[in-house]
Structure 1
Amino acid sequence: MTTAVSDQDRLIPTQSGSLHVKEWTPDASGSLPPILLFHDSLGCVDLWRSFPARLAAATARRVVAYDRLGFGRSDPHPGTLPLDFVAAEARDIVPVLLGHLGIGEFVACGHSVGGGMAVETAARFPSRCRALVTIAAQAFVEDRTLAGIREAKEGFRDPAQFARLARYHGGKARWAVDAWTESWLSPAFAGWTLDTALAEVRCPVLALHGDRDEYGSAEHPTRIAAGRGTVRLLADTGHVPHRECEDTVVEAILSFLSEP
């Protein structure tokens, strides 16, 4: 029998603007820690598509996703991204979310740069983050990552491609593209890694990665999971596993969270 899931949208105020948050709650949910989702560099709640509902139904856990400032239905970002924007999300935004949503213990799960934010969150809340899942996350600045970003940047010169992005971000779309490309391509960002945060992670880790990911080699999940958990390389899969092979990703997370 499929578990029924209800969803709810809300706005949560922060010092820099309001965040659009969506929750999926299975009818059979109990006291298991909820899953907090962190989207990718051009993502938003709506671009998770069916994944959060499927994840909530499969795991019998509340799933929470939100649009970062500057994305989706959240308020515009007040300026340019600081070089520490990955760590800053865990430092400045996550405590506000957890407080407003009444979340104690939780599971952090992030896609791409959102995976980095999930790592930073697990490091900052070692007693509350019960498990960490990364999906196609980057752990350092790799030539393959930069090449993929340069190619994407050129692609957004196409008005039709940019218009598709604007359907999700509205007037914030140009800011979102520039925030992604200019941050990662900046020479000042070249030395960024997750190494310091990873050293502080205390919970079990599952690092999922497509074997055809155009934004990062298998070195990323290997570094994320080293001594902390498990790497799972997904066959014939690119940078968006939760859309390309949703069933496999949901099953992998369910199995991981079901381990004693």
Structure 2
Amino acid sequence: MSDTDFALIDWRGKSVRIEHRFIVPPGAEAAPLVVFLHEGLGSVAMWKDFPDRLCETLGVRGLVYSRPGYGRSTPRAADSPLGVDFMHRQAHEVLPAFLAAMGITQPVWLFGHSDGGSIALLFAARHPQAVAGLVLLAPHLFVEDVTVHHIELARQAYDHADLRARLARYHDDVVSAFRGWNDIWLAPAFRAWNIEADIEGIRCPVLAIQGLDDEYGTLAQIEGIAARVPGTQLLPVPGCGHSPHRDQPEQVIEATGRMLAPSLRGAPAAAPR
């Protein structure tokens, strides 16, 4: 895997460090770019080698990054809890600033997992000219009881079992990463969070993948996308939980390849610096 690097962005008047790494397989220097958006407790390292496998198999470039508060990016300040609009801020403020800092001007494919899938949807709705297409794994459109229940179980595992120690391998500030995500998802005000109306303007190709054994969401999430975004392709995956790229990686890569096929036939010539 390629080494990680850091970019600086200005976010709400503060300089924020963004951990990231590029993946450029041999011969793919001018291929489409896939930007990977991690889950609520994810990071560059927590993707492990999946982005490399996808990029090498499909012959595309990849850009993996850790959102502020995660991985080796600038931690969230203890006195700055996430708000109900935290995914909107990531989609409307952080991701545009990061892409600009990286000098990326060509439309990109967004590959988003869980919260990252929701952020990808919000970004595509706000910046349609910047997105070639979306591949979404277990995205959230609204809050379900099953989601809240398992996030409560995650809090118990963090407080009383080994989840904190396991996460500490991937985050410079594990408290920032876990508490930011867990506290807002369990906040009473967040039960009303819903982005169904926000995504109705999306017109790019969309592939939405949902594990049939997902403990954090049901098929209603991706079916809601298909109801609002014309032409959305749905892929329910048996024998798969909340992380299709870990549980069924070959199926995810194959389906992503079918989605990207038109782009691969007409790959843009410009590469980001």
Asked if TM exceeds 0.5, the reply is: yes
The gaps in structure 1 that reach 5 residues or longer are: 1-5
CA 30–175 in structure 1, closer or farther in 2 if over 3 Å, else same = closer
Q: TM-score, normalised by structure 2?
A: 0.89
1:46 paired residue number: 45
Q: Would the aligned equivalents of 1:206 and 1:225 in 2 still touch at CA under 8 Å?
A: no
1:228 paired residue number: 231
Total equivalences in the alignment: 254
Per the TM alignment, residue 186 of structure 1 is displaced from its structure 2 partner at its CA by: 1.1
1:171-198 deviation per Cα after TM superposition (whole angstroms, max 9, x unaligned): x111222111211111111111121321
1:60 paired residue number: 59
1: CA distance between counterparts of 2:36 and 2:201? 20
Residue aligned with 1:81, SS: coil
1:215 paired residue number: 216
Per the TM alignment, residue 125 of structure 1 is displaced from its structure 2 partner at its CA by: 1.4
* AA in 1 matched with 2:2: D
1: CA distance between counterparts of 2:160 and 2:187? 23
Q: CA RMSD in A?
A: 1.5
2:249 paired residue number: 246
1: CA distance between counterparts of 2:185 and 2:209? 22
Deviating more after overlay: 152-161 vs 175-184: 152-161
Mapping of residues 1-260 of structure 1, within 5 Å: 7-15=2-10, 16=14, 17-78=16-77, 79-103=80-104, 104-170=106-172, 172-226=173-227, 227-259=230-262
CA 30–161 in structure 1, closer or farther in 2 if over 3 Å, else same = closer
Q: Would the aligned equivalents of 2:76 and 2:177 in 1 still touch at CA under 8 Å?
A: no
1: CA distance between counterparts of 2:28 and 2:198? 31
1:9-62 deviation per Cα after TM superposition (whole angstroms, max 9, x unaligned): 221112241010111111121533311111011100001011110111122111
Deviating more after overlay: 191-200 vs 49-58: 191-200
Q: TM-score, normalised by structure 1?
A: 0.93
2: CA distance between counterparts of 1:35 and 1:24? 9
* AA in 1 matched with 2:66: D
The alignment-based identity, stated in percent, is 33
Residue aligned with 1:71, SS: coil
Residue aligned with 2:170, SS: helix
1:184-235 deviation per Cα after TM superposition (whole angstroms, max 9, x unaligned): 1111111111213211212010000100000000000111233331110111
Deviating more after overlay: 73-82 vs 200-209: 73-82
Moved over 6 A (4+): none
